[in-house]
A and B are shown apart, each in its own frame.
Chain A
Amino acid sequence: MMRSLWTAASGMTSQQTNVDIISNNLANINTTGYKKESAQFKSLLYQTIQDQSYDNNGNPKPSGIQVGLGVKNSAITSQYTEGTLSETGSDYDLAIDGKGFFMVQTADGGTAYTRNGSFQMAVGENGMVLATSDGNPVLDTNGQPIILDKSYNTSNIIIDESGNLCYPDANNNAKPIGIQIGVAQFNNPTGLSKAADSLLTETDASGSPLLETTGTTVGKYKIKQGFLEGSNVQAVDEMVNLIVAQRAYEMNSKIVKAADEMMQQANNLR
């Protein structure tokens, strides 16, 4: 009897985690560059409750009778599909159309990755620095912060589809100034570890970042100036997932109730 109680309890706890994840997705439905997550489940171990079992004709079967002991959360995976691009008109709002991540220098000097391209020009020691809304410098293809000295009027900068910063020359033709915004790609983006503020960090599972300049093959991408990438959360999908999670929770609670009633009856025998 206790077996089914705990089995149902394991079902309830994992569905609770599932609801936690769904609610985080829905809370971030308007977060720029947010990638939705989903919970993965796995069955727990199996216990043999009878060594021999027989089919309907009375012939012994090769395996005994096994009963599973419930379910656990095995992983929470992110889905790196592209969100919708929406036009903002702001000069330093950038979106990546295709695979890849912007590189950002964190406060401790490390590199983090993000799909959130809501950048701005910040005043730095040697000129204007392209930075995220938190003030972390955005890196170019060589892993260096993007610094524009005082000779540039930052409102005239144009960023082309490959991420080259262009500045109008004397004839008003935009010419690259030799700085390209870095876009890193990963073989297995699902393996990236999530930090706060929409930042991602590299892990063993994600592999090392792939950059066009280091010669490794990368998929095609385009940088769109004046656009931001919305989250890839689909409200309808999440609502359906929520219904499934809630009903699964409910059914497991019914099992707890049924087990409880059965114990009560056993208790009433005497």
Chain B
Amino acid sequence: MVRGLYTAYTGMANEQKRLDIISNNLANAATVGFKEDNSTSQSFDHMLTIKIRDNSEGNNNRAIGNMSMGVKLGEVYTNYGQGSLKETDNTYDMALEGNGFFNLSVTDKGGNTSTQYTRNGSFTMTKDGHIVDENGNYLMGEGGAIVVPTDAAEVVIDKNGAVYADNTYVDNIKITDFDNYDYLTKTGDTMYQALDGAVEKPSNALIQQGYTEQSNVNIISEMVEMISVTRAYEANQKIIKSVDQTLELAANSVGKV
């Protein structure tokens, strides 16, 4: 029917999705190792409008110009910037300073083991000495899952990730970085999975024992964005209403003549 109706509709639908992303950022404003998501919007492909069968033009078709029929989500990109560090003094809390991810060995219900990546460094220990995250996934070292002797009284992790139990070297914590973070997909629990085509590279991140990395959500910009989302939504709603009024005139008043 009227093109503007559907254009404004795509605007409203797009603002809804943007609000979904903002609300997830704000809900995770206090989540350890969380990285904020931002979105971009893209216009639909341009369409060439052509004037046809107009007597005043001598019935010659003439191009009027391009127009776009609405908007859609272009991409969601994650800001992998450093979050602030908070001191916890727990032995197995680690924060990464710099680019890189901890490697976790995750076994699903079907018994398939895969490697997932996280910046959430709040770990604990099991009775057999494995260092695990809160879901029980093993933290990986250079030589497989890290196992510390259970009778060790003091476990020290230095900045380069070397784990010492009572001054005896155990293993190095494996930290992986990627060439292009676009090849990471989120799997929940602040974990990431590498997609086909991801290129690993050594990380230069330093480990801070006794600290956790806080989320890097900038709450002020999120609130401002939320205001702009609600207002843009409102403006699109106004467009639909005015198109509706125009249509009402067309249907009721014009038809009356």
Residues of A in contact with B (beta carbons under 8 Å apart) = 1, 3-4, 7-8, 10-11, 14-15, 18, 38, 40-46, 49-50, 53-56, 61-63, 65-71, 74-75, 77, 79-81, 99, 185, 187-188, 190-191, 203-208, 210, 216-219, 244-245, 247-248, 251-252, 254-255, 258-259, 261-262, 265-266, 268-270
Contact = CB atoms under 8 A, between A and B. Distances in A.
B17 interface: yes
A7 B28 CA distance: 9
Interface stretch (B63-71, B107-115, B189-197, B249-257): B189-197
25 contacts: A7-B27, A8-B27, A10-B27, A11-B27, A11-B29, A53-B73, A54-B75, A65-B76, A67-B76, A68-B37, A70-B27, A77-B124, A185-B153, A187-B153, A188-B125, A190-B90, A190-B91, A207-B150, A207-B151, A210-B151, A216-B153, A217-B151, A217-B166, A254-B223, A265-B233
Contacts of A270: 244
B26 interface: yes
A266 B27 contact: no
A132 to B, nearest CB: 25
Interface in B16-52: 16-17, 19-24, 26-32, 34, 37, 39-40, 42
Contacts of B88: 38, 77, 79
Nearest to A245: B30
B150 A187 contact: yes
Contacts of A46: 185-188
A8 B23 contact: yes
A208 B12 CA distance: 59
A15 B90 contact: no
A261 B21 CA distance: 17
Contacts of B196: 62
Interface size class of B (residues with CB under 8 A): 35 or more
Contacts of A245: 30
A181 B74 CA distance: 67
B23 A77 contact: no
Interface in B209-241: 219, 222-223, 226, 229-230, 233-234, 237, 240-241
B208 interface: no
